[in-house]
Amino acid sequence: MILARRNERKVRSDWEDLLGGEKAEWYEDTKSGIENNTSLIRMTMKEARDIKQLGDIDEALRFLKIGGNVIQEFTPGLLCLLKEMMKFSRMVSAMAPVSPLLPSRFHLAELNNLAVLNQMLHQVVVSAKQRFRLKLRIIATGVKITSGYLLTRIDRVLDRRSSTENEWEEIVNAGQDFQQLTTESVESFKNLMGSLPGGLANQLAENLRMRPSNPSLPTTSGGPA
């Protein structure tokens, strides 16, 4: 077991060396776009809750609405990225070891259950490529669940102008879950880019650029000033 852990760390280290040149630039571009959107979502959720606690419900609702708009615009691009990653992962000859999602990192029960399922099936499938695609499917399902949950809860609070602390706390917790899923998406993209030969990596980058909801292109221009 000790040797296996050492070998896994060695493989991961070797994979880092493969992520250089243009592939590193494409990875950083996509990572930056995802993190920009995620940061805006996190910021608006936190500001909304803090302002609500200060008693300005109108301003709090305005921030909450902005966060909901970013989630709505960003989710299709993130799902597109995961779909493209799934397709291109079938073209690689080898891939670095993949770790399953951890249930303890999620608040929503549905995501906790998905992470448990990921851990169970992770032990069943054999190859790293199979485990990688399994994790992508789990992440994509989690993104759909969390995005839908957030938009529904946000619309409910906006419609009723609710100031109930429990409802706002649920939104903040789900926002943290959404951020965790985007972090897992970025790590998976890094793994894939390190395993793709230059030509395929370039094709993946071009495919993402042609998508209208490309997550590597920040959609934060309409954020709060």
Domains of the chain with bracketed CATH? 23-210 (1.20.120)
Predicted local distance difference test score (pLDDT) of residue 162: 87
Token pair belonging to 97: 């070891």
> Which residue in this structure is represented by tokens 């499938």?
125
Phi-psi region of 201 (alpha: psi -120 to 50; beta: other; left: phi over 0): alpha
- pTM of the predicted protein model: 0.81
Q: Give Rg (Cα) of the chain.
A: 19
**Residues 162-221: pLDDT tens digits?**
888 899 999 999 999 999 999 999 999 988 888 877 777 778 877 777 454 455 443 333
Under a CB-based contact definition with an 8 Å cutoff, are residues 11 and 97 in contact?
Answer: yes
Structure confidence at residue 11 as a pLDDT band (50, 70, 90): very low
Under a CB-based contact definition with an 8 Å cutoff, are residues 196 and 204 in contact?
Answer: yes
DSSP state of 216: T
**Least confident range of 62-66, 77-81, 124-128, 196-200:** 196-200
Tell me the percentage of the chain whose pLDDT exceeds 70.
83
CA distances from 177 to 17, 182, 214 (A): 30, 9, 21
By C-alpha distance, which of 211, 205, 221 is closest to 30?
205
Token pair belonging to 84: 């493209």
DSSP per-residue letters across 153-178? HHHHHHHHT---HHHHHHHHHHHHHH
**How far does the chain reach from its first CA to its final CA, in angstroms?**
53
Predicted local distance difference test score (pLDDT) of residue 216: 46
**Residues 105-134: pLDDT tens digits?**
999 999 999 999 999 999 998 889 999 999
Cβ neighbour number for residue 196 with a 10 Å cutoff: 24
